[in-house]
Amino acid sequence: MKLLEDMILEKGKVINEDILKVNSFLNHQVDCNLMKEIGKDFANHFRNNNITKVFTIESSGIAPALMTSLELNVPLVILKKQTSSTLTDVYQATVKSFTKNCEYNLTLSKEFISPDDRVLIIDDFLANGEAAKGAIKLVTDGGAQVSGIGIVIEKAFQPGRKILDDAGYEAYSLARIKSLKDNKIEFINTL
Ligand code: 5GP
């Protein structure tokens, strides 16, 4: 997606050769017009997959996932990273955080999934595929089907893409980064 790649080049900050900071338009401040276009792109790509719900992981997946839900006219379910006394009767998956070097319990209340659901999982980044694997586990624990995975920024040089491909999931990324070496952002040419 050209608009997104241009934004990454203009405003993204290479932290090191593994991490890109996009706090000015996705992870902290949010560019809502960009989110709208992202939502349209994901919705157009997955429109024929009979999606019944969009799932995302709090908190950075929420903005693009919300716009996608609006476009597809289906509910958005936010998978929780923190458990709470108000969340009972849940499915859970342990996820190793890429950026925070810790583990958390991704949590889904059983009331928001049923075996009829065809779920589109949306997240901001794909790195090692841990968050996506956790979300997939919750969907399958609920007896539902993962009907697609939408990633805003894929770091294609990390293992997540291969893990999702090998497991047979359709992962669609709007920007695919080939390398962050030498403080330079290089994309896989998808245009
Ligand atoms: P994974 O679970 O695929 O290893 O990592 C994906 C998750 O880690 C995303 O939900 C995102 O929050 C975070 N993440 C991974 N790589 C980056 C990165 O380069 N920059 C930022 N800002 N977040 C990242």
Count of CB atoms situated within 10 Å of the CB of 69: 23
The ligand 1 atom at the shortest distance from the C-alpha of residue 127 is: 3
Looking at residue 170, its pLDDT comes to 95
Q: State the distance from the centre of ligand 1 to the C-alpha of 177, rounded, in angstroms.
A: 13
**Any atom of ligand 1 within 6 Å of the Cβ of 83:** no
User: Rounded CA gap, 51 and 116, in Å?
Assistant: 10
Looking at residue 190, its pLDDT comes to 59
Cα distances (angstroms) measured from residue 119 to each of 2, 77, 90, 102: 26, 10, 17, 27
- Which tokens go with 78? 């936010």
User: Rounded CA gap, 108 and 6, in Å?
Assistant: 35
Q: State the distance from the centre of ligand 1 to the C-alpha of 47, rounded, in angstroms.
A: 26
φ/ψ of 47, rounded to 5, equals -55, -35
Q: Nearest C-alpha to atom 11 of ligand 1 is from which residue?
A: 125
pTM of the model: 0.97
The ligand 1 atom at the shortest distance from the C-alpha of residue 133 is: 2
Whose tokens are 């997104």? That residue is 4
Looking at residue 191, its pLDDT comes to 52
**Any atom of ligand 1 within 6 Å of the Cβ of 126:** yes
Q: Nearest C-alpha to atom 22 of ligand 1 is from which residue?
A: 21
- Contact yes or no for 54/74 (Cβ under 8 A): yes
**Any atom of ligand 1 within 6 Å of the Cβ of 41:** no
- Where do the DSSP E strands lie in 12-144? 13-14, 20-21, 53-57, 76-79, 90-96, 103-109, 118-126
- Contact yes or no for 96/116 (Cβ under 8 A): no
Query: Which of 28, 58, 97, 98 is the best mutation target for the ligand 1 pocket, counting ligand atoms within 8 Å of the beta carbon and taking the most?
Result: 98
User: Rounded CA gap, 17 and 96, in Å?
Assistant: 20
**Any atom of ligand 1 within 6 Å of the Cβ of 25:** no
User: Rounded CA gap, 56 and 178, in Å?
Assistant: 24
- Contact yes or no for 172/151 (Cβ under 8 A): yes
The pLDDT profile of the chain, 191 residues, written as one tens digit per residue, is 999 999 999 999 999 999 999 999 999 999 999 999 999 999 999 999 999 999 999 999 999 999 999 999 999 999 999 877 788 899 999 999 998 889 999 999 999 999 999 999 999 999 999 999 999 999 999 999 999 999 999 999 999 999 999 999 999 999 999 999 999 999 998 55
Q: Is 80 helix (H, G, I), strand (E, B) or coil?
A: strand
Q: State the distance from the centre of ligand 1 to the C-alpha of 181, rounded, in angstroms.
A: 17
- Contact yes or no for 71/47 (Cβ under 8 A): no
Q: Is 46 helix (H, G, I), strand (E, B) or coil?
A: helix
